Structure 1
């Protein structure tokens, strides 16, 4: 069973990581979430759940307005050839979330370490980063340093690369 928002919160607390979470109506797109701008400070994320032809899986997290060249990103992230979006079933299996709720916090569910996480350099310039806490009905704010601590605590080595234009 995928972890719940409460289990994520407990995991973060156990690491000594402080976050703030704001509830809101379900947000399915970046356009939906932009209605909250001004109310939640920091960098807001857009997440790409990608897979290559050898079934390597990538979670690419960028700033919400970032442009990513999907025809070229494979050369930056170490994929075997071009990438495509991973199917919803694989997303649920590995990250425990549904489309519209993809989040870097989903790494808590990838206990086998199958997902390679790529954080965009531009996003990581923000002191505070905002992401869904396993549900698109809330936004959790976390410091950049604590986000990196979280990713590493889930057994992943984050790659920080310039993937956006």
Structure 2
């Protein structure tokens, strides 16, 4: 899998939401590497992408409370499993479950299998609260999809949680999730 620096030379055939990610990153002068690939729907399917970028793509889970009045995007290392009780104790919400694909599309403009922090571009009203496992914040690099699961990008973690989140007017809640093997 070939690694490219920055946006594709031609954006023909690329979805508008992917283009908007590249436009924003470029306007913020955030450097990124990119690989294009077949659609990947799971963390397990990302193994070849991970190897190409030299990093593990994080897991992105779109969650909501029971009443479906609060929505969360949880980013965590791929090897960690979600324990909703553990997470609920750290945020102002209980009874978390997976939100619907329809809500994901409505709030983040991404489809299941494409959930990404980059989707916050499409949430100007801050209806989605970002939750970040502290382990990711300590890593030098962060990898995710640019709102489509046919490309993946690698950026500096400090750029994502600094310049990018500031530009899309979102903050995050740091959470500590235990290793899925413990």
> Does the pair score TM above 0.5?
yes
Query: What is the root-mean-square deviation in Å for CA atoms of aligned residues?
Result: 1.5
Corresponding position: 1:62 with 2:67: no
Aligned-pair distance for 1:77? 2.2
The gaps in structure 2 that reach 5 residues or longer are: 1-14
Equivalent in the alignment of 2:152 = 139
Correspondence for 1:162: 176
Superposition pairs of residues 1-165 of structure 1, within 5 angstroms: 4-54=17-67, 55-79=69-93, 81-148=94-161, 149-165=163-179
- Is residue 50–residue 56 contact of structure 2 (8 Å, CA) maintained in 1? no
Normalising by structure 2, report the TM-score: 0.84
Structure 1 unpaired stretches of 5+: none
* Distance change >3 Å, CA 117–CA 160, structure 1 → 2: same
> Does the aligned pair in 1 maintain the 2:114–2:145 contact within 8 Å?
yes
Which structure's CA Rg is the greater one?
A: 2
Segments ≥4 residues shifted beyond 6 Å:
none
- Deviation per residue, 1:106-159 (Å, 9 max, x gap): 111111110000111111221011001000001110101110121221111122
Measured in 2, the distance between the counterparts of 1:96 and 1:46 equals: 18
Q: Secondary structure at the match of 1:141?
A: strand
- Aligned to 1:101, the other structure's residue is in SS state coil
Number of corresponding residues: 163
Contact preservation (8 Å) 1:41, 1:128: no
